[in-house]
Amino acid sequence: MRPFAAKPGRLWTAWTGWRARRVSDPVERLRLLRHTVGDRRLWPADDIAGGKRQLRWRVWVLAAGALVLAPLGAMKNASWPWERTPLALAGTAAPAEDRVPDVWLVEETPAAEQYSNGLRIERKYETANEPRRYEVYALGRENEGPVEERTAPAGIVFHSTESATAEFRADQTPRLKRIGKFLLEYVRQERAYHYLIDRFGRVWRIVRESDAANHAGYSVWADDRWTYLNLNWSFLGISLEGRSSGEEAGPDITDAQVLALRQLVAMLRSRYAIAARNCVTHAQVSVNPSNMQAGYHYDWATRFPYARIGLPDNYRLPAPSLWLFGFTYDPSLVVQTGESYWLGLTLGDDRLRQRAASEGATVEACRAKLAANYRRLILQWKARMEAARGAGAPEASVQGARPPAVQTDFEDVKETGK
């Protein structure tokens, strides 16, 4: 097993957070955290030397590019950066060719479904919820309100249950099965995900694909045309049983889970023509409207196996919540997550700077305007939901359900935090 870098102590983290909170500019704050915290967190030691130098070089190139591009936004009559010229920021563009897999249903029974790529879906815990219906916003024109209503899912959000479990060994098989069964019963009761993949790689459908699931809560994402709010309704939720980052050994998932996830993602993308860039982690989409900060939940804030499941590295996409709605982030989030996640924050801040420059406004003024627009859209969305429920539609929670921290002795069950 490879050695890991030391985790920062509480005093170091508190001191670093205090210093960072005194820096108002988010990009400068991120740079301060990178210089002070560095890689003092869960990270393979043999990846640090090369990976850190390479990412530092990329971040500085991106920052330099932003400084060059920002003045262009002050041009008279300029409006949006993406209307003027394509943004010349590395890692923000979608793949040149986004091939949707070709997967079809081979056999279906009340107990299971079998697909052409080897995927098998267990249906024992399948249940219904509120039928999916959601509105989308034109990218960059969210202030104009929703433009159309849809019922087909637009993307996938990846989760981990972050629940305690037994060590993955043959002699622990009975306990692993008991814990998995308990977890399945819980997420079915909460209608927490559309799919759960257990430690043995079995794929369980929980909420039907035609319905919403309580998996994402307040959340924001955008592709190259549309913006999506509150992804319980617009995105499918897939969760892997286990932890997205172990205490000392990295992600607590199995090879069987990764293989099953690859097959499941291929099937769902084939069925609904889901774009690769709309397959993202919970940490990338989660927001907290009460303090306007991104990353309310940070499962899979780092080291999600994008390449192993046949997807591009979507950590390289700028965080839409920052540049579309003015969200910021707490320094502790940077301390506890990985460099891949930092890159999305940096690119999101760069886009916000360019947007402010194109409007001839300060970053602070631009952020305040975007945040006010977000709050207005959320209030309008809640009003529409209440009106629909008054007309007889079943109720679903806006909050993303969090699975219990399942104890191996089953004596204590409680809701997991972030």
Higher pLDDT, 80 or 323: 323
Q: How many CB atoms lie within 10 A of CB 77?
A: 4
Distance CA 257, CA 36 (A): 36
CB 352 within 8 A of CB 326: yes
In three-state secondary structure terms, 85 is: coil
> What pLDDT sits at residue 146?
94
Residue with tokens 């563009």: 93
Q: Note the residue count of the chain.
A: 418
Q: What is the mean pLDDT of the chain?
A: 78
Residue 39: name the closest of 338, 245, 304, 315 by CA: 338
Fold topology of 10-390: Lysozyme-like (3.40.80)
CB 228 within 8 A of CB 374: no
Tens of pLDDT along 61-72?
A: 445 554 444 444
Percent of the chain with pLDDT over 70: 68
Q: Which two tokens stand for residue 85?
A: 């010229």
Tens of pLDDT along 82-137?
A: 333 333 333 344 444 578 889 999 999 999 999 999 999 999 999 999 999 999 99
Tens of pLDDT along 341-397?
A: 778 888 999 999 999 999 999 999 999 999 999 999 999 999 988 887 776 555 445
Residue with tokens 């009106």: 387
Higher pLDDT, 395 or 216: 216
Sequence-distant (≥ 6) Cβ neighbours of residue 193 within 8 angstroms: 159, 187, 206, 207, 213, 215, 237, 238, 239
Question: Element (H or E) spanning 226, and its range?
Answer: strand 226-229
Distance CA 58, CA 135 (A): 36
Q: What is the pTM of this model?
A: 0.75
Distance CA 205, CA 112 (A): 9
Residue type, 1: M
CB 157 within 8 A of CB 235: yes
Domain boundaries, the chain: 10-390
Tens of pLDDT along 37-69?
A: 543 333 333 333 444 445 455 545 445 554 444
